[in-house]
Chains A and B, each alone.
Chain A
Amino acid sequence: MPPKTSLLTLRNIVVALLLIALALLPVYAQLAGDRFALTLFTRIVIMALAAVSLNLILGFGGMMSFGHAVYLGIGGYAVGMLAKEGVYSGFVQWPVAILASALFALVIGALSLRTRGVYFIMITLAFAQMAYYIFAGIARYGGDDGLTIYKRSQFIEALNLSDKVQFYYVCLVILFAAIYLVYRLINSRFGMVLQGVRSNEVRMRAIGFATYRYKLTAFVIAGVLCGLSGALLANQADFVSPSVMYWTRSGDLIIMVVLGGMGTVIGPVMGAIALLVLEEVLSGFTEYWQIILGPLLLLVVLFARGGIDGLLATLGERFTLRRPS
């Protein structure tokens, strides 16, 4: 049986609609006068970027990092600390956020990637918690109260990040670019190595790959993308605090990836939308909304291994099978 090559599957239609809806969201918010939707979805887009970055190493590379939120903090503090010192230029802040995240990822990765399984999880977690306590202890930058950012990153005259719509589109363009980057990456030689490592690392080494350096590179790329997400998050909140890198935040990112679908490019975006919208809706009913989230996650893990994205693909197949030919 030849593999199906049709682009017009249920899953692809949903993905296309989703991307269009994200692109048109500010129009809806404007027409409906729903300012809150814009705020919520700006946050969703930023967290989706973080989830996409985690998916690169978790979903495609099989590296179960439990400290990925640390880069949200690194990126955020790069912006916050520079702003506090009077440096508002985004042309300085963002490259610093990127470089600092890369450096952090390089150090954490270099040490943790020599280990496997539970040890890897524990080391990544430990580094993130260490960063959390270090930033909580720096009084000049607000300690555990956090640091208010009085001016958003400045780029050029025409671009004003304090404008909600403009800021949303900046975030969205970066998210789309990151998705495309990951898409190219995972289908390249580098991506094939990454997927081979997830599938069977011993065999990868036996056929001649020095796997460590490829894993480390992926780890750094993921850290950089997440650091960028942190810089955006700090701008959106006009605030950064150590809590963005607390281990539960790393857990949220993992949930987004698993919920949306590990190892598909768009899955984490679906997961971010699902988790954050669910949180918003459910927390309106009860403050114990996580009691509902828990069983839901359990259902996904038990019955829909591929997450939402996988579910769409399965439903699509059923749909085409039933259709009279």
Chain B
Amino acid sequence: MSAPLLEVGHLAKRFGGIVATDDVSFAIPPGELHALIGPNGAGKTTLIAQLSGSIFADSGAIRFAGADITRLPMQKRSHIGLARSFQITSLFLNMSVLDNVALAVQAHAGHSFSFWRNARAEAALREPAREALARVGLADRAERLTASLSHGEHRLLELAMALAGQPRLLLLDEPMAGLGPEESARMVGMLRALKRDYTILLVEHDMEAVFALADRISVLVYGRIIATGSPDEIRGNQQVREAYLGDAETAHA
């Protein structure tokens, strides 16, 4: 087995009395789609936030591509290849769709102390942005105002922005959140295609999607990983059934 791309060791984070991350350890080898599931409030978003650097862990370590990044600030993590998409859509609503993605490209194209040249005419920014949009099926929306897009399209734009930085690891926080069945199916197709080219940590509520896509699954309950394994192993795990999957999943199976 190759060296892991991401390695999390004994990570912990509290908010006052709440233990949001409780001694979490796991590793993701390159090329894997690793899903993180767990009930609401289990600490999934908090874990993603620590991985992307928007909050720092209280203790424990995060290693990425062999380097210790536990204390690395958020904007620097993005430069070494960690890209995050937000559970709650976080876009530049008053700019065009293409501008949104072009900004993500620009963030990784050297410094931006360039004061004179028209950035919207720079092929080096616009072309990769258009490619990322095409990749998620939003090519025909490029010139639209971002605020005018549907929720489903916003989710896809989130993904395009994460892709634009040419990341080595995608941290996706509930990309299916709030999508209708049709849009969800479209997103699953998208993720299946992306899976070929990227290592992905996927937080998702939609069980069908998770079991269809994931190579391995970790189950988080009250901040603690109670099981990690292949979809079949997780389905068969008694502890997981009791703590989380419950009767609904048993009925499905």
Contact = CB atoms under 8 A, between A and B. Distances in A.
Interface string A175-203: 00000000011011111110110011011
A209 interface: yes
B119 A189 contact: yes
A12 interface: no
Contact of B91 (A184, A185, A190, A203): A203
A206 B143 contact: no
Nearest to A209: B107
B252 interface: no
B61 to A, nearest CB: 22
B207 interface: no
A66 to B, nearest CB: 23
B10 interface: no
A200 B93 CA distance: 8
Given A3-B143, A185-B115, A190-B114, A209 B75 contact: yes
A208 B111 CA distance: 10
Contacts, number: 94
Nearest to B161: A207
Contacts of A192: 99, 102-103, 106, 112, 119-120
Interface in B119-148: 119-120, 122, 125, 143
A217 B54 CA distance: 24
Contact of B118 (A187, A193, A196, A207): A187
Contacts of A289: none
Contact of B93 (A2, A185, A188, A199): A199
B77 to A, nearest CB: 8
B119 A202 contact: no
Contacts of B165: 207-208
- Chain A contact surface mostly: helix
A187 B117 CA distance: 8
Given A202-B90, A206-B78, A210-B75, A196 B119 contact: no
Interface string B55-74: 00000000000000000001
A208 B75 contact: yes
Interface residues of B, number: 37
Nearest to A191: B119
A205 interface: yes
A50 B119 CA distance: 26
A214 interface: yes
Interface centre among A188, A192, A205, A206 (most CB of B within 10 A): A206
Interface in B38-67: 52, 54
A200 B118 contact: no
Interface string B140-173: 0001000000000000000001000100000000
B15 interface: no
Contacts of A189: 106, 112-114, 117, 119, 122, 125
Contacts of B192: none
A217 B113 contact: yes
B115 A209 contact: no
A199 B120 contact: no
Given A206-B78, A214-B112, A196 B95 contact: yes
- Chain B contact surface mostly: loop
Contacts of B86: 203, 206
Contacts of B6: none
Interface in A37-87: none
Contact of A187 (B95, B120, B125): B120
A124 B28 CA distance: 47
Given A189-B106, A192-B102, A202-B90, A208 B78 contact: yes
B13 interface: no
A310 to B, nearest CB: 13
Contacts of B78: 206-208
B26 interface: no
A206 B91 CA distance: 11
A204 B78 CA distance: 11
A102 B233 CA distance: 64
Interface string A259-293: 00000000000000000000000000000000000
Interface centre among B104, B115, B117, B118 (most CB of A within 10 A): B115
Contacts of A196: 92, 95, 103
Interface string A198-232: 01101111111111001001000000000000000
A184 B54 CA distance: 33
B224 interface: no
B84 interface: yes
A200 B100 CA distance: 11
A27 to B, nearest CB: 33
Given A192-B99, A214-B112, A206 B90 contact: yes
Given A206-B84, A208-B108, 12 more contacts: A187-B118, A188-B114, A189-B117, A189-B125, A192-B102, A192-B119, A196-B92, A200-B92, A202-B90, A203-B90, A206-B54, A217-B113
User: 5 closest A-B pairs (Cβ-Cβ)?
Assistant: A208-B78, A208-B107, A199-B92, A189-B114, A189-B112
23 contacts: A3-B143, A184-B116, A188-B115, A189-B125, A190-B112, A190-B113, A190-B114, A192-B112, A192-B119, A193-B112, A203-B91, A204-B103, A205-B74, A205-B75, A206-B52, A207-B83, A207-B103, A207-B165, A208-B104, A208-B107, A209-B107, A210-B75, A211-B75
